[in-house]
Chains A and B, each alone.
Chain A
Amino acid sequence: MKMEKVEQLRHYYLRHDKKFPHVWCPGCGNGIILGSLIRAIDKIGLSKDEVVLASGIGCAGRMPVYADFNTLHTTHGRALTFATGIKLARPELNLITVMGDGDATGIGGNHFIHAARRNLNLTAIIINNQIYGMTGGQYSPTTPYGAKAATATGGHLEHAFSIADLAVTAGASFVARGTVYHVPHLDKLIEQGIRKNGFAVIEIMAYCHTQFGRRNKMGDAVTMMEKLRDRAVAVKDPGAAGSPGTAVAAGASDTPGAAASAGALDSDSLDTLDGKFAIGVLTDVEKPDYIAEYARLRAASRLNAQNAGNAGK
């Protein structure tokens, strides 16, 4: 993308009246994700008024305030519940939630699996930096076994799960994983997720050099990003280390069949600091849309009420 266009996007989509600088550490990947999100929305051509960007609490949760949409910064873990209310009340709006790993799958884990099961048309962007960043580096549900955290100074005793696998199992109709290294690929995944009519999850492998990298001697932000490059494998090519090029190519239109093999790979590897993990579209299935289903229920119950009224006459 040309620099000129980047400038235009920035001026158009970021808030002018918001006091900068932002809260994120220099080098944090969260800004990259905000960029991807804006490009995806721009590509789809949504108007700013029809987008609601809702978040929970955490570094990830601070994203909406900078963007010029209808923005909502909810309570820790609850973004999807607020989004559910908004979407049901105004189905024509596009609901995008941004959550951290702890936010979405720790404190908000129950809401997450039920949102996936319910299949309301929401887009869930989960920034997985494998740690509670904002509160100072305590372990999260995705902190790998043995990794150091502020509350696991001797190495973590529990095991990480794969957020994407969890989403697939819980019934999300679209599940993808990207990284903050593979940016054009990420733009595309977010775009696909927003376009999907159904509950869509995009897990983004990110890094927190301040709270996680430092404790685990993983180097600076750039080193951690390079690590993501080396660990990611495009789903179409599960055996080999994915270069960004192949990931972008492979991620575009995957068959649902690829998910199984990718999933098997992830459960174990994401519980380590250097195992390979799949990126790309892991699941893309069609399911009845909740809003359409509810519209059908409304029509049927109005008819019932009418018939009952007529019968009474």
Chain B
Amino acid sequence: MSDKKASRENDNQPQSGVNGVGAPQVAASGTAMRVPAREPARSSQNAVPRRRLLQGNEAMVEGALAAGCRFFAGYPITPASEISELMSVRLPRENGTFIQMEDEIASMGAVIGASLAGVKSLTATSGPGFSLMQENLGFACMAEVPCVVVNVMRGGPSTGMPTSPAQGDVMQARWGTHGDHPIIVLSVATVAECFEITVTAFNFAEKYRVPVILLSDEVVAHTRENIVLPESAQLEVVDRIRPSVPPQWYKPYADNSRGVPPMATMGDGYRHHVTGLVHDQSGYPTERSDEVKTQLKRQMRKISSGFGEIQLTRSFMLEDAQVAVIAYGAVARSAKRAVRMARRQGIKAGLLQLVTLFPFPRKAVDQVLRQCKAVIVPEMNFGQISREVKRVNRTCRVFTVNRIDGQLITPAEIFQEISN
């Protein structure tokens, strides 16, 4: 039985799974849940497929480099450190820059600085470091600075369980920094996705001028799988739009049809002001009610008008499903297995994997809730995404399976809930 095409919000573009924004071919085939190594090599001209045995963290490095990332600033933390270590080796070779900063606050600051100077930038951390990044993450939201932040989730709160997986930072990823703010949160379940969704994360960041949080977890980060790295020609890589007007006409925060103003690189002649204060379209601080409203509403609108391509989900055996599992991250793998087990027992089960967690893929979830008699949301926390699912509609019963003991939820546990 083959995997189904990823479900989409945007029905006008039926061709690809994660359409539009830079999904490599492996993603476009919609085989999210399958390890691409089992697929035939896609590259016909270049005969040697780049088949590699990689850890999730390593695949993220490859994805970032393929997306054009040339700056990394970070601070060591388990279970994310491999990303720093590999970046420190790879970036200098690619004419990029790696720096280990004095803490995660500084790392986030440096990432924003490098992005303002025109370089695609990444940092990677885990819970405690992610908490420290929230201040400058808010700055990146407010000043609309593209960047990608990987959070390899471990058991929390506080120092928690450094070497155990968890999914406790989902709400922090959405709401960790203060104030209403636009942000995109993606999640990965396989090593192949660590590559491909990292590319997508950079593409979204650049296209929408917004920080993108990429949630991984200790299981995905440290699992080794065979994947085929796509040739660079197969990748769609998006770069921020730079101003085309003469410098004296440039308004760094002016509205347009997409709500995403062109972004000038510092030093390119488009001198302007960048601040975390609410600003007018020239970037100057303002407290004028009309200007404040215009800016902040545009910042939200630029994301909501992109829902169609941002809200990525993947479906498995959902067409005739009467019971559905909605899962993300490593748990989605257990869920897929549980669905197969249920099908063997004659239960019409299916899986909706959430790749995008925020903006919450409401439309795809709504469809599943309307279709099914029961929905199960397993996650390694006390129930963060299940609350979002329950908010969508109340026509369907929603059951939760939660673990917070540092253990991955097993297929058997999910299967049991399905059979109930």
A interface residues, Cβ below 8 angstroms from B = 17-19, 48-50, 52, 54, 64-65, 68-75, 78, 80-90, 92-93, 110-111, 114, 294, 297-298, 301-302, 305
Contact = CB atoms under 8 A, between A and B. Distances in A.
A127 to B, nearest CB: 18
9 contacts: A48-B271, A72-B273, A73-B277, A82-B116, A84-B99, A89-B118, A90-B266, A298-B92, A302-B92
A93 to B, nearest CB: 5
B274 A71 contact: yes
Contacts of B266: 52, 70, 72, 86, 90, 93
Interface in B83-141: 89, 92-93, 95, 97, 99, 101-103, 105-119, 121, 135-136, 139
Closest 4 CB pairs between A and B?
Answer: A85-B113, A81-B109, A85-B110, A89-B117
Contact of A78 (B99, B109, B118, B268): B109
Contacts of B282: 17
Contacts of A68: 271
Interface band, chain B: 35 or more
A70 B71 contact: no
Contact of A86 (B92, B117, B273): B117
B110 A72 contact: no
Nearest to A117: B102
B160 interface: no
B393 interface: no
B284 A110 contact: no
B267 interface: yes
B269 interface: yes
Contact of A85 (B71, B275, B284): B71
A148 B118 CA distance: 46
Contact of B136 (A49, A72, A78, A83): A78
B18 interface: no
Given A65-B275, A70-B266, A78-B135, 8 more contacts: A73-B277, A73-B285, A74-B109, A74-B276, A75-B276, A78-B109, A81-B105, A81-B113
B109 A86 contact: no
A78 B118 CA distance: 20
A94 B249 CA distance: 24
A171 to B, nearest CB: 13
Interface of B: 71, 73, 89, 92-93, 95, 97, 99, 101-103, 105-119, 121, 135-136, 139, 265-269, 271-277, 282, 284-285
Contacts of B115: 85, 89
Nearest to A110: B102
Given A86-B116, A114-B102, A294-B92, A73 B276 contact: yes
Interface of A is mostly: helix
Contacts of B285: 65, 73
Contact of B106 (A18, A70, A73, A78): A78
B139 A83 contact: no
A296 to B, nearest CB: 10
A26 B95 CA distance: 49
A298 B71 contact: no
Interface of B is mostly: mixed
B93 A302 contact: yes
Contacts of B272: 70-71
Contacts of A90: 117-118, 265-267
A82 B113 contact: yes
Contacts of A71: 271-274
A7 B139 CA distance: 35
Nearest to B112: A82
Contact of B267 (A18, A49, A114): A49
B101 A93 contact: no
Nearest to B96: A298
Contact of B273 (A73, A80, A93): A73
A54 B113 CA distance: 10
Contacts of A88: 71, 97, 99, 110, 113-114
A81 B106 CA distance: 5
B205 to A, nearest CB: 15
A2 B230 CA distance: 65
Nearest to B101: A81
Contacts of A69: 271
Nearest to B142: A75
Contacts of B89: 301
A49 B269 CA distance: 5
A18 B285 CA distance: 9
Given A52-B267, A85-B73, A93 B117 contact: yes
Contact of B112 (A64, A73, A80, A85): A85
